[in-house]
Every structure is written in C-alpha cells, then in structure tokens.
Amino acid sequence: MMLFPNTKYDPVGGAWGLGTVTGLPCAGDVSSLFGATDMAEHADGHNGTDIAAAQGTAILAPCDMLVTDVFSLDVVSTDPLFQQIKDLFGNSVWATIGLSDGTGYRTMFAHMAEPPSVAEGQAVEAGTVLGYVGSTGMSTGPHLHWVLGQLDNRWLARGAGNVEVLDYCDQAQEPAEVFAPTGSGHIVEDKHATAVKAIQDARAALDRALAAMY
C-alpha cells in the first residue's frame, strides 16, 4: 500500500548507505531505519525513520491528514507526559491519516527547529508546511524523525504496531486513497475530539507507561 505517493524512496546510496528520500516531507539521506539498533539511544530498536537534512529545511505534509497534537518547547506544562515527549522529540507534530475503508494510521514528525507551523485540530493538505528541520529533543544533529503506526497507538510507542514508513512511499505501488479525517483543510473545533483528548489526558499515568517504552 502506498500512503505517500509524493515521497520517493531509493534504497540505494545515501551518506549512510541506507538510501535517499526525495519529495515530501523533505529530501535527504536516510540516516537510520525503523528498528535500527545502531546507537545507544536506539538500543531497544528505533521507533521511526530518520532523514538527515539541513537545519531549517521545510517539512511538508506528505499527504492529507488531521493534526491531533502539537508539542512546542515554548509552551510550559506541568503534565509530566507533555514534558517527557518534549524531552524526547522536541518540537513535534502528531497527526492521523484516514483511508477510504474507514481505517487509518497515526504519524509523527519530530525534532523541529521551531514551534510547529500548524495547530491541533487542523486538517492539512499534502504540501502544507508543518515546521522546519532542527535538532530539538533527543537528537545528535539536524534531521527529521518520521514515525508511522496504528491509530490506537496514540503516542506511537515502540513495539505497539509501528511500521517502516519508507515501505509506504512510492515504490511503484498502487496509491491508497488518503484524507484528513475532517476533510476541511481549515482549523476546526471538533468537540468530540476535544472530549476524547481530555479523557486521554486524564489517563496520563497509562500514557506515561506507554511512553516509557521508547
């Protein structure tokens, strides 16, 4: 299944010999694959894929999707989970991708240089600027950390159904019909989503247990 037809992954070449990415969300050399144990921080298996790119490179939405969570280092919170996610991923954007069969995926873009350019509850189209490549959070240099997983894995914890996002990029497959769940393309007030988020925030202790799996 191809979720990201505007993303071309070539598994040959690249500075690390892991291939290159062109198109959306940004172009660059793949520096670490999903599941890699190539460094101490990935000892239990990398939960996503890293694309090395220059500081300040625009990160563009690779398909239509709904932004569900935005983490900014400029925002102070007393929620330990919020702080833990910022420590790990810095400025980051989390979103859901809808499929025509009623299913979907959850995705995340991390280590942005600045606070994200989108807001929670915003349905964005492919090509929308989400933020800019940086090295915030647990990072050793400018890169995009891109994660793809199951809808019910809210914080995309390792070992809970994450997949190699590059397997869903353009590799001569038939593209899937994807959309932002609200389909509006504008910031919307989704009262149901707000209520669900409040319940999930109230269950922060369980979420922290999942987050500890990184």
Query: Which is more confidently placed, 200 or 5?
Result: 5
What the block records as the tokens of 160 is 């809970």
The number of beta carbons lying within 10 Å of the beta carbon of residue 6 is 17
- CB–CB of 214/159 below 8 Å? no
* Tens-digit pLDDT profile for residues 47-91: 789 999 999 999 999 999 999 999 999 988 888 988 999 999 999
* Tens-digit pLDDT profile for residues 174-207: 788 898 886 433 333 333 344 434 444 444 444 4
Query: What CA–CA distance (Å, rounded) separates 87 from 136?
Result: 8
- Give the residue carrying structure tokens 């990072």: 139
* Tens-digit pLDDT profile for residues 159-177: 788 999 999 998 756 788 8
- CB–CB of 120/201 below 8 Å? no
Pinpoint the alpha helices (H) of the chain.
80-89, 191-202, 204-211
Cβ contacts of 159 within 8 Å, gap of 6 or more? 45, 213
Task: Report yes or no on whether pTM surpasses 0.75.
Answer: yes
